Amino acid sequence: MDDITHHIPDDCLLAYSAGTLPEAFALMVAAHLTLCDSCRAAVAAYDSIGGALVEDSAAPLDADSLNATLARIERPRPAEPERLSCAVLPAPLTDYIGGDISAVRWRPVGLGVRQAILPTSGKATARLLYIPAGASVPDHGHNGQELTMVLQGAFSDAGDRFARGDVETADESLEHTPVADPGADCICLAVTDAPLRFRGLLPRLIQPLLRI
């Protein structure tokens, strides 16, 4: 997609190429690469550089290098655009869900917003978010990094707009209230490496139950 204007950070692309990302973040990158030509080209370049460095190295691989190599082989892989199996979900996501968008098991989180937590390993988490048109996500901050990619519709946040394929990057410095555009429900993939920080009492009370 040539109209994507918000991309995966370069350090995440490099870590994906090296096979060192947590599974949830690797899934995010794989899904984004399916939609984004420029980030797919960047990862291909990182892969080529990494391969050349391995070929030029005469030193034996230590255990950490072997583990990184195995993780790289096993990382979620992007699909070519023509292999998209759903109009909303890129193929890497349909592999995790076991079907298209109709197979997602949504759970309410309040104010019409729904989520579906995906089965990834490690402390980082991945979830699909369904935000009704014109609705907002509760005001929150972050204790770590969050990447959010739009799969359907669009949302506005902090004076910027994110549409299909766009990725918003948030860290400890950002407190925000994303709002879905009117006219179309918004579906996103969000990955986090730490719990969110909510201002409201009710979101804080139910946070452990919702695993956010």
Domain boundaries, the chain: 10-85, 96-210
Question: What residues contact residue 113 under an 8 Å CB cut-off, 6+ apart?
Answer: 129, 130, 131, 132, 135, 137
10-85: in CATH 1.10.10.1320 = yes
pTM above 0.75, yes or no: yes
Q: Which two tokens stand for residue 92?
A: 């890497």
Is it the case that residue 56 has pLDDT exceeding 60? Answer: no
Model pLDDT, residue 175 = 84
CATH class, range 96-210: mainly beta
For the chain, how are helix, strand and coil distributed in percent, rounded to 5?
35, 25, 40
Model pLDDT, residue 82 = 41
Question: Which among 19, 14, 27 has a CA at the least distance from the CA of 68?
Answer: 19
**Residue 196 pLDDT class (50, 70, 90 cuts):** confident
Asked if domains 10-85 and 96-210 share a fold, the reply is no
Model pLDDT, residue 139 = 80
C-alpha distance from residue 106 to each of 101, 112, 131, 148 (Å) = 10, 11, 11, 17
Contacts 24+ apart (CB under 8 A), 54-62: none
| Residue bearing tokens 């201002």 | 199
Is residue 85 within 8 A of residue 94, CB to CB? The reply is yes
